[in-house]
Structure 1
Amino acid sequence: MTDLRALLDIASQAVDQAAAVVSQKAVGTVTAKGDRDMVSELDLAVEERVRTFLHTETPEIGFLGEEQGGQRLGNLTWSLDPIDGTANLVSGIPLCGISLGLLRNDTAVLGVIDLPFLQDRYQAAEGQGAYRFGQRIHPSRTTRLHEAIVAVGDYAVGERAAEHNRQRLKITQLLAERALRVRMLGSAAIDLAWVASGRLDASIALSNHPWDTAAGIAIAREAGAHTMDTAGRPHEMTSTATITAAPGLRDEVLRLLQDSANTSA
């Protein structure tokens, strides 16, 4: 099946089921997975429900979940983060989301993001625009970084975290000097959906896991935001960073990233 309109409907149904699990099930036991990372019983329950549904509806499409992995079967692969922002969820912070994307090879072509505790949903498919509850969305018209609210991704954890955080910290410092406000929301899905809808003006994350970014990149791109790597090349799942910006901020954001790389080397 390659009809993106039909696949978007299936993705929306899958996320409906995921949201129902979130509304009905407690967070449950939380288990550590690596340095300062965690998975909850709720993450696992959501992923299992969505995996089972999509396998039934689209057995010819591969599946990749954050918690239990998966496999690619051809050029199309579902990519799911069952709860993007688990640390927020566990702490009772309502900034977390269900993020389901579809990859064609390494390009995100479809996405549905549901923010269950904010009662908010975004979706898009390639060539069909991006929507929030059926209303078309667009990025902001901000053209000056000095007037922009910019989200930054979480700092690195695990092995070589200090080294990996050097440029992240420099980006934060430069944004503090140049942007209107800096935000760290703890969910890539929210960052990307809110750039797409103009609530944020840009988002900078020096990471790129397909389960975190596939849905949001598809939505942001269809909304009209720039989705790119740190050099300004079009974002792919092989990119080492996930940068989104309102059209009028692209050049300033790229200059800031270049400045951060030069001064953190």
Structure 2
Amino acid sequence: MPTYDDDLRLAHVLADAVEPITMARFRAEDLQVSAKPDLTPVTDADVTVEETIRSQLHRSRPRDAMLGEEQGLQGGGPRQWVVDPIDGTKNFVRGVPVWATLIALVDDGVPVVGLVAAPALGRRWWAGIGTGAWTGRSLSGAKRVAVSGVSKLSDASASIAGWSTWAQLGRRDGLIDLLDECWRVRGYGDFWGHMLVAEGAVDFAPEPELELYDMAALAPIVTEAGGRFTGLDGRDGPWSGNALSSNGLLHDEVLARIGG
């Protein structure tokens, strides 16, 4: 199996480069916000971060492709970097500190590196395939994370997102029934619920509508922490347009209730 240590180190370098940009624009009075064609917000920080990462990848990995939320796909080949410059832009705009830069490497269709950098929370999470999942401020100050051992819904803590979309899909009643059986339910939102699954603080986190750039960095972190990351159709990885991350023990039961 190839190793991706150098790529993981590069992901940290990229996160280091854009953190001053995002933190300088977070809660800035002159933050520029516009609406994309799908009516979701985009800020000047989103655009600048993606441009910065593209520029550094062009120098460091000129043969690799990159897919970004704001500018789409550039390049081709089996190695593709997938970047969400600010996951949680609505939070960013409103001054809520739950947002992150997501950086992933997909090699021949497999997410092999994932990094989630949430500077307003003072946290990062990362993983390379075969090397475990970690959290900390840097590679030198890292703590390994692992999913929980909770095996019963009555003991489970769940993170839920996309409430209105569940209704549009006709699955909200089933979701409510599922969550009513859980010990605790909270809406941590965006990347954070899945990272809490990876570190064992939450036991499962379903989301009904996502893009590849929302998920590619999350999947290897959850799986390297010992959990499962699939679509609601049960397909492994970030390919289904939606997601369920879990500790693995509850995964099949949750899919049976709200998947398909």
Q: Residues 205-216 of structure 1: matches in 2 within 5 Å?
A: 205-216=207-218
Partner of 2:186: 183
**Worse overlay, 220-229 or 249-258:** 249-258
Output the CA distance in 1 between the equivalents of 2:3 and 2:249.
33
Conserved 8 A contact 2:231-2:239: no
* Shift of residue 202, structure 1, vs aligned partner: 0.6
| Per-residue deviation, residues 77-102 of structure 1 (Å, max 9, x unmatched) | 10111110011111111111111011
Partner of 1:139: 147
Partner of 2:121: 118
Partner of 2:139: none
Conserved 8 A contact 1:154-1:184: no
Report runs of 4+ in structure 1 exceeding 6 Å deviation.
Answer: none
Say whether 1:247 aligns with 2:248: yes
**Worse overlay, 142-151 or 115-124:** 142-151
Q: Which amino acid aligns with 1:153?
A: A
Output the CA distance in 1 between the equivalents of 2:196 and 2:33.
28
Q: Which amino acid aligns with 1:242?
A: A
Partner of 1:224: 226
Conserved 8 A contact 1:82-1:99: yes
Q: Which of 67, 74, 77 is the aligned partner of 2:77?
A: 74
Q: Which amino acid aligns with 2:15?
A: V
| Per-residue deviation, residues 61-115 of structure 1 (Å, max 9, x unmatched) | 1001101112242111101111100111111111111110111233211111011
Partner of 1:163: 168
Q: CA RMSD of the aligned region, Å?
A: 2.0
* Shift of residue 21, structure 1, vs aligned partner: 1.1
**What SS is found at the alignment partner of 1:234?**
coil
Output the CA distance in 1 between the equivalents of 2:252 and 2:167.
28
Q: Residues 1-265 of structure 1: matches in 2 within 5 Å?
A: 3-26=3-26, 28-34=31-37, 36-133=39-136, 134-155=142-163, 163-164=168-169, 166-167=170-171, 169-187=172-190, 189-235=191-237, 237-258=238-259
* Shift of residue 123, structure 1, vs aligned partner: 0.6
Output the CA distance in 2 between the equivalents of 1:194 and 1:31.
31
Conserved 8 A contact 2:85-2:101: yes
| Per-residue deviation, residues 31-63 of structure 1 (Å, max 9, x unmatched) | 112455110111111111111111111111100
Conserved 8 A contact 2:231-2:244: yes
Identify if the C-alpha distance between structure 1 residues 148 and 230 changes in structure 2 by more than 3 Å, giving closer, same or farther: same
Q: Which amino acid aligns with 1:151?
A: S
Output the CA distance in 1 between the equivalents of 2:88 and 2:148.
24
Conserved 8 A contact 1:106-1:238: no
Conserved 8 A contact 1:152-1:172: no
**What SS is found at the alignment partner of 1:248?**
coil
Output the CA distance in 1 between the equivalents of 2:53 and 2:174.
36
Return the TM-score normalized by structure 1.
Answer: 0.87
**What SS is found at the alignment partner of 1:247?**
coil
* Shift of residue 171, structure 1, vs aligned partner: 4.4
Q: Gapped runs of 5+ residues in structure 1?
A: none
**What SS is found at the alignment partner of 1:100?**
strand
Identity of aligned residues (%): 29
By relative contact order (CA 8 Å, sep 6+), the higher-ranking structure is: 1
Q: Which amino acid aligns with 2:66?
A: F
Q: Gapped runs of 5+ residues in structure 2?
A: 137-141
